[in-house]
Chains A and B, each alone.
Chain A
Amino acid sequence: MNEGSGFRQGLSIAFRLGIELTVATLVGAGMGYGLDHLLGTRPWFLVLGVFLGATAGALNVYRIAQDFQVEDEGGEKKDRSDPEDPSGKSD
């Protein structure tokens, strides 16, 4: 089960990281653009939105990577305890 979980985790991360950054930046830019449109302050909110969006994307990627690391350490811990397992010795 743990092995499968690691595999699934890795799979989802591999497909997530790239798009996450781009989309967050675009969303930030879009929101800034919308605010500019409403308030007539072009292009200040657009600029701010791009920066915040990029930050948000980086933050998202950082969080995913952090989750992965925690998962990885958990897996390692399990592996380390395995040799104590009598059933593991017979293999």
Chain B
Amino acid sequence: MESPLHHFEVHPVIPIHVMGVDLSINNAVLAMWVGLAVVFFFFIVVVKNGVKTIPGKLQSVAEISLLFIRNLVDEFIGKEEGKKYFPFVASLFFFILACNLVGLIPGSYTITSQLVVTGAFAFGIFILTLIIGFAKHGAHFLSILVPPGVPKIMIPLMIPIEIISMVARPISLSVRLFANMTAGHTVLAVLFGLAMSASVFLGWLPFGFTVVINGLEIAIAFIQAYIFTTLTCVYIGDVIKLH
């Protein structure tokens, strides 16, 4: 029985090296592209079918998901400000959801189980919130480090605490997604390995578990995509509202 962590290994498919940097297209990237292609073609089919006032099934799905994200954006960023960030937030949601879901296909790869990927996204969002904050409030944005209603004596103490809590945000954001995806897939791999190695008349037991856990993993894929998106909205909303 091979290691359950074996399927997290990345194998280059088309090696590309640019100035000594490895930019090879590997199985993880290919799996991600499959997921993104599905998302893209889903929306293209909806739009090409003609967006109707009375929606068909596909259009309903697209509308419900977009409406869901729009409510999210409205709630945490604000109705007016939210319009600007909606496409980014919605794309982020579909990107993560597609990557999470495509990984559930046996033999495929979940790129969101790579901490560097989730970390890159979280870091990008962190930088984005800083840019938005400084663009919107200028130097006054630094007051986000001092919560309102704090006595003056406490300020030197509060500033490092606030800096730590701000830096902790993107890290917890990326770690959460990475950990959930890795854990789920590890459990699936272990169970599937058991099903393969067990005798025929006992094999159905772990296999049944695999099916159940797979269903659970689909829910986790949605929940994690949702949480990542929600927290992105919360962080953007925080720097826009500034307390």
Contacts and interface: CB of A to CB of B under 8 A. Distances in A.
A31 interface: yes
Interface string A16-60: 100110011011100100000000000000000100110111011
B168 A5 contact: no
A27 B171 contact: yes
Given A11-B226, A12-B227, A52-B161, A20 B71 contact: no
Nearest to B159: A52
B164 A8 contact: no
B28 to A, nearest CB: 24
B176 A56 contact: no
A1 interface: yes
Contact of A19 (B164, B176, B226): B176
A86 B107 CA distance: 56
A53 B225 CA distance: 27
A49 B236 CA distance: 26
B172 interface: yes
Contacts of A55: 161
Given A15-B176, A19-B175, A24 B164 contact: yes
A23 B227 contact: no
Interface residues of A, number: 24
B81 interface: no
Contacts, number: 64
Contact of B164 (A4, A11, A16, A27): A27
A56 B175 CA distance: 17
Contacts of B165: 24, 56-57, 59-60
* Interface footprint category on B: 20 to 34
Nearest to B72: A8
Interface in B59-106: 71-72, 75
B172 A23 contact: yes
Interface in B138-179: 157, 160-165, 167-168, 171-172, 175-176, 179
B71 A31 contact: no
B176 A52 contact: no
B237 to A, nearest CB: 11
Contacts of B75: 5
B231 A24 contact: no
Interface string B29-62: 0000000000000000000000000000000000
A61 B114 CA distance: 26
Contacts of A31: 163-164, 167
B71 to A, nearest CB: 7
A60 B165 CA distance: 7
B214 interface: no
B230 interface: yes
B230 A12 contact: yes
10 contacts: A12-B230, A15-B223, A15-B224, A19-B172, A23-B171, A27-B167, A27-B168, A31-B167, A53-B168, A57-B168
Given A16-B231, A27-B167, 12 more contacts: A8-B230, A11-B227, A16-B176, A23-B168, A23-B171, A24-B164, A31-B164, A31-B167, A52-B157, A56-B161, A56-B165, A60-B168
